Amino acid sequence: MDKPKRAWRIDLHAEADSRADLVDLLKSMLFDSLEPGSDSSVSGGYSSGGYYTVTSDPEQTHDKYFEQLEAYQQFRRDNGCEASNVPDDFH
């Protein structure tokens, strides 16, 4: 059983040479993501680089997510996956 997902998600990877460089990269990515139609971006420079992808599921709702989450948690309990060290994809 797959872990449920919320309606809007971002997959992000960022690397930098310093904390300040990382913060600058994340600010840049945030600014880029606010542009309509900017669902993905790749950025690379002298001291940082990364990428992000924004995805959405218009069928997903808040209530539906929590129903799916409860079913997912019950599935994990029923299959002995209660321990926090058991990966989500174990079963």
- Delimit the domains of the chain by residue range: 8-81
Q: State how far the Cα of 89 lies from the Cα of 91, in Å rounded to an integer.
A: 6
pLDDT tens for residues 17-76?
Answer: 999 999 999 999 998 888 888 899 999 999 999 999 999 999 999 999 999 999 999 999
pLDDT of residue 91: 41
pLDDT of residue 88: 58
Alpha helices in 1-91 (DSSP H): 19-33, 62-78
Q: Are 48 and 25 in contact (CB under 8 A)?
A: yes
13 has pLDDT over 60 = yes
Q: What's the average model confidence in pLDDT over 7-15?
A: 95
